[in-house]
């Protein structure tokens, strides 16, 4: 018997144990701390056992309790970054995806998985009002943005044969760092990323965009793309997509829309996303505002031929010999990845299980929670909003100054105290140089009472810090 063999009986018993840990975790989520009580030293110590030569078998699972204990739990009061809450039916599908161990390279390697992924891509494109866009799943928004700009580069300034040349990409000052990274990785030159200022609502100024384009044209530079944000990471601002699309048409520029965070909002407030379907490429993270477990990014694009121009470099060993449009389909001809996980199973199962309307309702609830928090902040003399509420991100701060107190320092201390206290988890943003406390609602477990706790936790932290420091 191969030493790695696991009998069916053993598998069932291990699975029952793991499922029981998972179910206990879900059961306790409501009362769990939003940040674990741990430290770097404790986590290092917990997992520093040497790799044993002999198998521990059942006992290997004992340490899972430490994993759970030191995990940052997706509680109803986790509001940091843009981290979706992890829908349980999707999590079960993820387990089965690993059991099935499909390598979703091409139809011939994973017939059901490839068909399901293509279907899920169609579903999402249609639901967002982008019927006709096609695409694939990937690790996340960063990977999707990189692939999108690789396609833009190949469409406008082909580089695959003779190497990359400097080419201009435009994006607002609020664009996600993954765009800056992609421009660098693609050899376009970070200095060729034109950072366009935003208006008072953190939306790209289109007059500034046109001015920058005209300047680059006059200087004879090669132009590639405009990256518009449909939900900036800091404040959820949506750039004027239709206007930007028309500028892109005028100057023959590729339009990439980074909707990694915001695009699912189009399921509920489609009017804010007019122009989305005009993108040449569109990134969406289903592990953000569609509540899927990480990892689950998606890139949609208009022109399959350009995806192939950018990504099709098939070695002879992988060449698809079948001309049937279904059986001859290969994701690796249109994506950066060759070996690919069966990511579509979780989306497919959780969408089928709950129905699209349930997701719309969950997104609507998040939007409502953002408004609720904004109202609390407006109603408190001690707090102030630092940005308008466009989607589900709320940036605010404690505003009472005493004796020349530095508000950035105070709000940083408040954030640390709130996180340490463990009841709610917030992250931060820098808004016009001001340190902001930031709550982002992409959490289907959150209820109204949880939103109220953000305010009580922040006020309690602020008051205790001020008292301690005797400001």
Ligand X SMILES: Cc1ncc(COP(=O)(O)O)c(C=O)c1O
Q: Which residues bind ligand X (CB under 6 A)?
A: 82, 140-142, 145, 176, 178, 229, 231, 233, 258, 260-261, 285, 297
Beta-bridge partner residues of 258: 229, 283
What distances in angstroms separate CA 212 from CA 167, 187, 223, 234, 286, one per listed residue? 14, 21, 11, 24, 33
Q: In the complex, what is the shortest distance from the CB of residue 365 to ligand X, in angstroms, rounded to a whole number?
A: 20
What is the C-alpha to C-alpha distance for residues 277 and 301, in angstroms, rounded to an integer? 10
Q: In the complex, what is the shortest distance from the CB of residue 7 to ligand X, in angstroms, rounded to a whole number?
A: 38
Asked whether 345 and 97 are in contact (CB, 8 A), the reply is yes
Q: Which residue's entry shows tokens 């299980």?
A: 353
Quick one: 196 or 413, whose CB is closer to ligand X? 196
Residues with Cβ within 8 Å of 131's Cβ and at least 6 positions away in sequence, in order, are: 125, 277
Quick one: 233 or 365, whose CB is closer to ligand X? 233
Q: In the complex, what is the shortest distance from the CB of residue 256 to ligand X, in angstroms, rounded to a whole number?
A: 11
Quick one: 176 or 203, whose CB is closer to ligand X? 176
Q: Which residue's entry shows tokens 């990694």?
A: 260
Q: In the complex, what is the shortest distance from the CB of residue 37 to ligand X, in angstroms, rounded to a whole number?
A: 26
Q: In the complex, what is the shortest distance from the CB of residue 178 to ligand X, in angstroms, rounded to a whole number?
A: 5
Q: In the complex, what is the shortest distance from the CB of residue 230 to ligand X, in angstroms, rounded to a whole number?
A: 8
What is the C-alpha to C-alpha distance for residues 225 and 251, in angstroms, rounded to an integer? 10
Quick one: 130 or 393, whose CB is closer to ligand X? 393
Quick one: 167 or 262, whose CB is closer to ligand X? 262
Q: In the complex, what is the shortest distance from the CB of residue 177 to ligand X, in angstroms, rounded to a whole number?
A: 8
Quick one: 86 or 231, whose CB is closer to ligand X? 231
Give the full edge-to-edge strand order of the sheet including 383-385. 383-385, 393-398, 434-440, 427-431
Q: Which residue's entry shows tokens 């944000």?
A: 229
What is the C-alpha to C-alpha distance for residues 388 and 373, in angstroms, rounded to an integer? 12
With b for 16 or more beta-carbon neighbours within 10 A and e for fewer, the 145-169 pattern comes to bbbbbbbbbbbbbebeeeeeeebbb
Quick one: 92 or 179, whose CB is closer to ligand X? 179
Residues with Cβ within 8 Å of 450's Cβ and at least 6 positions away in sequence, in order, are: 76, 77, 369, 424
Q: In the complex, what is the shortest distance from the CB of residue 280 to ligand X, in angstroms, rounded to a whole number?
A: 17
Quick one: 261 or 396, whose CB is closer to ligand X? 261
């Amino acid at each position: 018997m191969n030493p790695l063999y696991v009998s069916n009986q053993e598998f069932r018993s291990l699975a029952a144990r793991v499922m029981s840990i998972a179910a206990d975790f879900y059961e306790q989520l409501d009362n769990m701390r939003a940040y674990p009580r741990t430290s770097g030293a404790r986590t290092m110590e917990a997992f520093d056992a040497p790799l044993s030569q002999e198998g521990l078998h059942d006992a290997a699972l004992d340490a899972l309790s430490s994993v759970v204990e030191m995990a940052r739990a997706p509680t109803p009061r986790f509001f940091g970054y843009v981290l979706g809450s992890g829908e349980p039916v999707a999590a079960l599908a993820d387990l089965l995806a690993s059991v099935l161990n499909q390598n979703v390279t091409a139809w011939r390697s994973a017939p059901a998985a490839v068909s399901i992924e293509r279907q899920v891509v169609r579903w999402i494109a249609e639901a967002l009002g982008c019927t006709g866009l096609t695409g694939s799943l990937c690790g996340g928004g960063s990977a999707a943005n990189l692939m999108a700009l690789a396609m833009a580069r190949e469409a406008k300034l082909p580089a695959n044969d003779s190497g990359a040349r400097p080419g201009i990409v435009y994006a607002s000052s609020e664009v996600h760092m993954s765009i800056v990274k992609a421009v660098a990785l693609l050899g376009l030159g970070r200095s060729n990323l034109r950072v366009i200022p935003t208006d008072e609502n953190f939306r790209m100024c289109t007059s500034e965009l046109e001015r920058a384009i005209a300047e680059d044209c006059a200087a004879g530079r090669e132009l590639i793309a405009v990256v518009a944000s449909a939900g900036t990471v800091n404040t959820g601002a949506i750039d004027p997509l239709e206007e930007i699309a028309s500028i892109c048409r005028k100057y023959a520029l590729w339009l990439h829309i980074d909707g990694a965070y915001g695009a699912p909002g189009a399921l509920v407030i489609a009017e804010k996303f007019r122009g989305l379907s005009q993108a040449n490429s569109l990134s969406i993270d289903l592990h953000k505002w569609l509540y899927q477990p990480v990892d689950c990014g998606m890139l949609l694009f208009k022109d399959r031929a350009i995806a192939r121009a950018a990504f099709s470099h098939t070695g002879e060993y992988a060449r698809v010999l079948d001309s049937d449009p279904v059986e001859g389909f290969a994701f690796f001809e249109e994506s950066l990845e060759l070996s690919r996980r069966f990511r579509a199973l979780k989306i497919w199962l959780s969408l089928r299980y709950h129905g699209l309307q349930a997701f719309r309702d969950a997104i609507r609830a998040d939007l409502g929670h953002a408004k609720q928090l904004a109202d609390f902040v407006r109603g408190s003399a001690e707090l102030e909003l630092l940005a308008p509420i466009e989607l589900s991100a709320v940036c605010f701060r404690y505003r009472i100054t005493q004796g020349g107190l530095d508000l950035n320092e105070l709000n940083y201390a408040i954030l640390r105290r709130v996180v340490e206290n463990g009841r709610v988890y917030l992250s931060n943003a820098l808004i016009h140089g001001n340190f902001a406390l930031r709550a982002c609602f992409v959490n289907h477990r959150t209820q109204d009472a949880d939103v109220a706790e953000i305010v009580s936790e922040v006020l309690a932290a602020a008051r205790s810090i001020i008292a301690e420091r005797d400001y």
